[in-house]
Amino acid sequence: MIDKTPDQERRWLTSGNRSGGWNMIGMSRAELLVIERIRLLSAMKPYDGQTKVAPQRDDVERSLGVLAWMRWCNAARLPDRLVKAAIALARGGEAEVVHRLYCPTRKSRNRQAVYEIRQRTVGFILTGFKNDLGVVPGDGLSFKELRHAA
């Protein structure tokens, strides 16, 4: 329906989609620079972005523990690439960055590489749990200690 209206009326009907504060969708780069200049002249911090989140102590300990699991990825063919790509993926990195880290020589980018990174990383970690710690997946989402037959 909106596509059939003249340009002037279409602009009025869709104007609500472009509102949203300082970083509006419809703003150009030049307009953003002008706003930042005004903020700077008003003694506001330049490029004052999102608020910072301070992690809790338990979160830091848990994340360091998870990072320690990445040592089991050293059994991979190219462990540095796998570890960097897995960490970038865990941080919510874009697929382009993950591809550049994991397979920089491949020209085509596909979803298969992301799946491969996940599968290989989890496989190496589960193998490390089993071989080094004697822990194996149990029923559901639990883990149990592996008991060796005497």
- pLDDT tens readout for residues 82-112: 999 999 888 887 778 888 888 888 877 777 8
> Could you tell me where the DSSP H helices lie in the chain?
7-13, 29-41, 57-69, 79-90, 95-102, 111-128
Q: Residue 133: what pLDDT?
A: 86
* Both tokens assigned to 85: 């790509």
State how far the Cα of 150 lies from the Cα of 135, in Å rounded to an integer.
Answer: 17
The more confident residue out of 143 and 7 is 143
- Cβ atoms within 10 Å, residue 34: 12
**Residue 123's pLDDT band (cuts 50, 70, 90):** very high
Q: What is the pLDDT of residue 73?
A: 92
Domain residue extents for the chain: 2-41, 57-145
- Name the maximum alpha-carbon separation found in the chain: 83
Mean pLDDT of the region 129-144: 83
- Is pLDDT above 90 for 34? no
